Amino acid sequence: MSYIRETIVTTVDAKGVPHIAPLGIIAQADGWVIAPFRPSKTLDNLTAVPFAIANYTDDMRIFAGCLTGRKAWPLVPVEDCPVPRLQAALSHSVLQVASVADDGVRPRYFCKVVAEGSHAAFTGLNRARAAVLELAILVSRLHMLPAEKIDAEIAYLTIAIEKTAGAAEREAWGWLMQRVEDHRNGV
C-alpha cells in the first residue's frame, strides 16, 4: 500500500470556475497521484486545466462541508497558478499533471509538485479531527457499507468527539451525522 495524504483538492474548469473536493493523494517517488472515481468534476477539470492545488488544512468543517453541500469556502489566488487555494490551508502544493493512466472506473493523474507555500502554523494533533476525517470517509461510502459496520464505526468515533472536540469539530460532526441519519431513514 502507498502513503496517502488526505487533502482538499482545488481545480478549475476551462472558464476558471473553481471546484473543491476532499481527495486522498497517493505518494509517488517523484510526486503525487490524484485518482478520482468517474464521474467527477475534479477529473473533468484536470482534463481541461492540468493543474491542481493540494490544500493541507486542519479545519475539518471543510471536509465535512464538501460532503454535505457546503462548498463555499473562501479561496485566494496563488501566484503563477491558474488554480486558487483554500484560504484556510496551513500549506499547499501546486500540482501539475505530468501523465494520465486512463481507466473506465478510476483514472490516475500523475502530478509533479511545481511549487509549495506555507501560511499558518500546524498546532498539533487532535483525536476529534481524526474522528471527523474517518466519519467523512464513511459518509462518502455509505451506499457501499452494511448498516452494522456504519453503526460500529460511529460508536467508536463518538468517544473521541465526546472527549476531545472543539466547536468546529462538533459542527463538522453534526453535518456528517445528519447525512448518516438521512441515509438510515432512506432519504
Ligand X SMILES: Cc1cc2nc3c(=O)[nH]c(=O)nc-3n(C[C@H](O)[C@H](O)[C@H](O)COP(=O)(O)O)c2cc1C
Under the rule (CB under 6 A), what is the footprint of ligand X? 6, 21-24, 35-37, 40-42, 63, 67, 133, 136-137, 140
Task: Report the run of H or E that residue 131 belongs to, with start and end.
Answer: helix 127-140
In order of 10, 98, 127, 160, the CA distances from 55 in angstroms are 7, 19, 20, 25
CB of residue 181 vs ligand X: minimum separation in angstroms?
18
Residue spans of beta strands (DSSP E) within 48-181 = 51-56, 75-76, 85-86, 91-101, 108-118
Contact of 46 with 11, CB cutoff 8 Å: yes
C-beta of 40 vs 165, nearer to ligand X: 40
CB of residue 133 vs ligand X: minimum separation in angstroms?
6
C-beta of 40 vs 55, nearer to ligand X: 40
C-beta of 96 vs 140, nearer to ligand X: 140
CB of residue 38 vs ligand X: minimum separation in angstroms?
8
CB of residue 93 vs ligand X: minimum separation in angstroms?
16
Whole-number Å distance between alpha carbons of 28 and 41: 23
By beta-carbon distance, which residue lies closest to ligand X? 42
